[in-house]
Amino acid sequence: MKLSRVSEKFNFTVPETARNITRLTEASLIAKDVNGYFHLTPIGEASLQFIPSFEFVSKHKKYFKTHSFAALPLEYAASIGALEKSEFVSGFSETLFNAENALREANEFAWFGVDQIFASLLPLFVDIIARGVEVKKLMPRNAVIPPKILALANDPVFDRAARAKKWESRYLDRLDVSMMLSEKEIVAIGFCNLEGVFDWESFRTNDQTAINWAKSLFLYYWEKAKHE
């Protein structure tokens, strides 16, 4: 695209367009060929891949002023833009409501990377296990589970499901991200606040690109975790 066409397309003045093109050229993001047409360089093409991530963080800058995803493996931190179509969710009640609905609707799997167990979800786990849904639970080793919840978790259905590989639990020294997802949606994905604590602010989406990203991230940690 020539300078005059760029100016016309973006409704810029020619001098303004020339200044911007000069900046982009000096940054090696674009180049001009022998016919006077400007095109992206390989650096420019690579830079485009990061735009969704910048836009996602910028859109939710209030959240990311107090939460960090820096502990994620580089490949996932760099592709955080996969969550660009997600919506922000604030508050325990809404997150729990969404989790309960997701369990009722799950047909293939329900994976949880959390630092605590919700008592109200255990009966739903029993139900989905009976329907053949695979449940994976990833928790930090220092997670404190109240005795009443442990008692509820002693239901024999969990032992049978564990033997059938439909209910699996693994543990890590530390969780870098909190997530709940099924084949249909990311119910919640959130990051530690500046005190290193997971709060009830998270993101939710049914976008398939985001689900695939979250599945891959979960399995990355799952392979590093151990049975106990």
Which top CATH class is 66-224? alpha beta
What's the pLDDT score for residue 222?
96
Q: Is the pLDDT of residue 196 over 80?
A: yes
Mean pLDDT on 70-76: 94
Mean pLDDT on 9-30: 85
Question: For the chain, which residues make up each domain, given as ranges?
Answer: 3-48, 66-224
**Which string of b and e fits 42-72 if b means at least 16 CB within 10 Å?**
eebeeeeeeebbeebbeebeebeeebebeeb
Percent of the chain with pLDDT over 90: 52
Best-predicted range by mean pLDDT among 40-49, 112-121, 153-162? 112-121
Q: Which residues contact 28 (CB under 8 A, 6 or more apart)?
A: 41, 43, 44
Question: Angle, to 10 degrees, between the axis of helix 122-130 and the axis of helix 92-105?
Answer: 20
- The pair of structure tokens assigned to 119 is 């008592």
Integer distance in angstroms from the first to the last C-alpha of the chain? 60
Percent of the chain with pLDDT over 70: 96
Q: Is the pLDDT of residue 226 over 70?
A: yes
- The pair of structure tokens assigned to 116 is 């605590």
Q: Grade residue 149 by pLDDT with cuts at 50, 70 and 90.
A: low
213 φ/ψ sector (left φ>0, alpha ψ -120 to 50, else beta): alpha
What's the pLDDT score for residue 7?
80
CB atoms within 10 A of CB 103: 21
